[in-house]
A and B are shown apart, each in its own frame.
Chain A
Amino acid sequence: MISELIRHFREKQGPRKNLATAENYLRRMRKNDSPENLEDWVRENLEEPVWAVRNIAVKLAGMGGVKSVIPELCRILTSDNEIGFIRRNSASTLIELEESSPEICESLVVALGDSYYEVRARAADALALLGDPDTALADHLIGFIFKKAPENIQILPIFFPRRVFREKNFEVRSALTRALGSLLTSEKQLHALEIILQDDHWKVRAAAIETYPAAAQRVGKSEDQIVEVLKSVDLTSQDFVPAFPIRRTLNQSITRNGIKGD
């Protein structure tokens, strides 16, 4: 941490001109006004010493669809020395670029072992979106989620149920679950998803519920079997979404009468 503080203050001494340009480009891109030399600028600034500029360059690569920097993004994603936000944004950019290749998947799998949870979560999201069902990849995911082979687990322990999971962060576990649901190919792998349906965090259970039906259909489960499994899921939750009836009535009244406006 001390070295990071020193680096931060050193960077502060450096030229800030590039940061102003980067922020200007970001503002323009958000208004759909793409700068002409964007690709060159992104390529140049992925190596910038000031990390805020590198971070914007990574974001702009996604927003501007600069696919030529994908190998660079894969390198950044798996680099131990890069800033956490930049590694995370590299994974997000790979999602935005919608390109899939074995090299990208390999980098994403490496990123699943990152020390920063947001990188692991985004890498899992990227795998869910970019990868096709794949037995080896799904096994990798199971290895990242569970401490021991899920076929040896039938039910989660009552005390400290999370001890069976390697991944302790709920956000990453949710993303890995969604990825597993998209990529699994066998009944054995589906069993892992069924165990995750018992997770004590409702967001992880919700991710498993979201992905379970399609995954189960893929491995040949009948609709009755799917419903039976889903019926057994604990639906208690610490969250709920409130609804204010008077607001709903107002919206219905506006919609019914075809009133438009801001």
Chain B
Amino acid sequence: MLYTLMLALNEQFPSLTFLRLFDYITFRAIFSAITAFLFSLMIGPPLIRYLKRSNRTDQAWEYGLVNVEGKSGTPTMGGILILSAIGLSCILWCDLANRFIQILLFAIIWFGAMGAMDDHLKLKYNSKLGMPEKYKLLFQGGFGVVLSIIYLHPLLSPVSIEFASKLYLPFVKSPVLDLGVFYGLFIILVVTAISNSVNLADGLDGLAIVPSFFVASVYGVFAYIIGNFNLAEHFLFPFMGGTGEIVIFCAAMLGAGIGFLWYNAYPAQIFMGDTGSISLGGLLATIAILTKQEFLFLIVGGVFVAEAFTVFIQKYIYIPVIGRRLFYRAPLHHALQHRGIAETKVVIRLWIVAAILAMLSLSTLKIR
């Protein structure tokens, strides 16, 4: 909104040269992050109070007394904070006519609604289960279908249709495969897998949010390079005009994430709930697809991949088929806690791993 306004003003008043700053992606990205951060900080306390008053909390009472060591009673659905901060910052700083941004805003609404519904069901029926697994998959797959249609349609696609269905791998310069219409199925798989993996990681204070903003930052760098003709040519990426706006979106994710961490850091005053975790996963998946760096997630989102992998192996293969555990517990963070490592230590160690993986991912820019 500000972008359009300021550029229009600049056209009207060419003497106001500073307004040209709004044309720079880096400038808008910085202010997008700051806006999202400040908005999160401001909205945090009233939202926490509102969620507490409306009883949107984990079960608070146990055996007549409150558990002194536990975190029961902490407000949940903090994803509202993250999504509203990203949304607001995006509306202010992004070019809303950009197709990539339109898709990402649509993703916020879709996954936000799905996550909120899941949290609502959990709270309503006082159950851990929430929305049945098949409905969750249906929602995530549904978004994948919509995204596939937009992405592969010659008139709707934000990317050039000639490489829309091509697969790019980290460390490899040229596309390895053209999936054609099957790329749609691949999109559905990516959306479902990434969205669920972030959801699974959301089990300890600050665990999901920090690796999420590391991932968003790395994808922001990739989006910047892919959207800049000279840099794309230098790093041997296919140039995709307009992905620069994704940088601003990623910056908003970073700002909103840090703002949320302010309240979610151990001991958490608010949990993101499925409203946050499913949405963050969905947004990261969408960004990965839009920048054509789906496989990069295996490296940059290694923490999420490990969390999902442990659950998949343990829950679907080892326990029901082989009748024993492979890991002490699943997901990974529970296995680490089971080994006698305190929550804060588990979280910080996984942050360190996520940071190293982010650096490793950035190295794939050059090692190709």
Decide whether A and B assemble into one complex. Answer: yes
Nearest residue (CB) in A for B60 is A247
Q: Which residues of A from 62 to 110 have beta carbons under 8 Å from B?
A: 83-86, 88
Interface residue A5 (Cβ < 8 Å from any Cβ of B): yes
Interface residues of B in 331-355 (CB under 8 A from A): 339-342, 345
CB-defined contacts of A88 to chain B, threshold 8 Å: 324
Residues A240 and B342 in contact in the complex (CB < 8 Å), given A8-B320, A84-B324? yes
Chain B 33-45 per-residue mask, 1 if CB under 8 angstroms from chain A, else 0: 0000000000000
Kindly state the separation between the CA atoms of A252 and B64 in the bound complex, as whole angstroms: 12
Stretch from B65-73, B130-138, B161-169, B296-304 forming part of the interface with A: B65-73
Most chain B CB within a 10 A radius of its CB, from A240, A244, A248, A251: A244
Select which of B319, B323, B328, B341 is within 8 A of A86 by beta carbon. Answer: B323
- A243 & B69 in contact (Cβ 8 Å cutoff): yes
A83 to B319, CA, bound (A): 10
Across the interface, which residues of A come within 8 angstroms of B18, CB to CB?
A: none
The smallest C-beta distance from A45 to any residue of chain B, in angstroms, reads: 16
Given the complex of chains A and B, what is the CA–CA distance between A238 and B348 in angstroms?
Answer: 12
Q: How many residues of B contact A (CB 8 A)?
A: 22
Main secondary structure of the interface of B (DSSP, over half): loop
A201 at the interface (CB under 8 A from B): yes
A23 to B212, CA, bound (A): 40
Q: Does A1 contact B (CB under 8 A)?
A: yes
B69: A residues at CB distance < 8 A: 241-244
Cβ–Cβ < 8 Å partners of A118 in chain B: 324-325
The one of A84, A242, A251, A260 in contact with B323, judged by C-beta atoms closer than 8 angstroms, is A84
Task: Known A244-B69, A251-B66, A262-B63; judge A238-B342 contact (CB<8 A).
Answer: yes
Q: A238-B345, A241-B69, A242-B267 are in contact. Are A5 and B321 (CB under 8 A)?
A: yes
Whether B68 lies near A243 (C-beta < 8 A) is yes
Task: Please give the distance in Å from A243's CB to the nearest CB on chain B.
Answer: 5
Instruction: Verify A237–B340 contact, CB threshold 8 A.
Output: yes
Query: Would A1 and B322 count as touching, CB distance under 8 A?
Result: yes
Point out the residues of chain B lying under 8 angstroms from A1, CB to CB: 322
Is A239 a contact partner of B341 (Cβ separation < 8 A)? yes
Contact A262 B61 (CB under 8 A): yes
A165 at the interface (CB under 8 A from B): no
Residue of A nearest to B71 (CB): A244
A153 CB to nearest B CB, Å: 24
Chain A contacts for B345, CB-based, 8 A = 238-239
User: Provided the pairs A238-B340, A238-B341 are in contact, do residues A247 and B322 lie with their beta carbons within 8 angstroms?
Assistant: no
- Give every chain B residue within 8 A of A171 (Cβ-Cβ): 328
**What residues on B are CB-neighbors of A255 within 8 Å?**
65
Residues A239 and B267 in contact, CB atoms below 8 Å apart: no
The residues of B that contact A8 with a CB separation of less than 8 Å are 320-322
Q: Which residues between 50 and 79 of chain B lie within 8 Å of chain A, taking CB atoms?
A: 61, 63-69
Interface: A212 (CB within 8 A): no
Q: What is the predominant secondary structure among interface residues of chain A facing chain B?
A: helix
Q: Hey, what's the 0/1 contact readout for A215-240 against B, CB within 8 Å counting as 1?
A: 00000000000000000000001111
A149 contacts the other chain (CB 8 A): no
A4 B341 Cβ-Cβ under 8 A: no
Q: Does A25 contact B (CB under 8 A)?
A: no
Given A170-B339, A238-B342, A240-B342, also A251-B68 (CB < 8 A): yes
Cβ-defined contact, A4 with B322, below 8 A: yes
Contacts of B323 in A (CB 8 A): 4, 51, 55, 83-86
A239 touches B68 (CB 8 A): no
Inter-subunit contact B320/A247 (CB<8 Å): no
B68 touches A260 (CB 8 A): no
B65 CB contacts on chain A under 8 angstroms: 251, 254-255
Known: A241-B69, A244-B68. A85 touches B340 (CB 8 A): no
A15 at the interface (CB under 8 A from B): no
Question: Assuming the A-B contacts A201-B340, A202-B340, A242-B267, are A250 and B66 also in contact, with contact meaning beta carbons closer than 8 angstroms in the complex?
Answer: yes
A201 partner residues in chain B, CB cutoff 8 A: 340
With a cutoff of 8 Å between Cβ atoms, the chain A residues found around residue B320 in the complex are 8
Residues of A within 8 A of B322 (CB): 1, 4, 8, 83-84
Can you list 29 A-B pairs with a CB-CB distance of less than 8 A? A4-B321, A8-B320, A51-B323, A55-B323, A83-B324, A84-B322, A84-B324, A85-B323, A116-B324, A118-B324, A118-B325, A170-B339, A238-B340, A238-B342, A238-B345, A239-B345, A240-B342, A241-B69, A242-B69, A243-B69, A244-B68, A247-B66, A247-B68, A251-B65, A251-B68, A254-B64, A261-B64, A262-B63, A262-B64
Q: Report which A residues bind B (CB closer than 8 A).
A: 1, 4-5, 8, 51, 55, 83-86, 88, 116, 118, 170-171, 201-203, 237-244, 247-248, 250-251, 254-255, 260-262
19 additional A-B pairs beyond A85-B323, A238-B341, A247-B67, beta carbons within 8 Å, are A4-B321, A4-B322, A4-B323, A8-B320, A8-B321, A51-B323, A55-B323, A83-B324, A88-B324, A118-B325, A203-B340, A237-B340, A238-B345, A239-B341, A243-B68, A244-B68, A248-B68, A254-B64, A254-B65
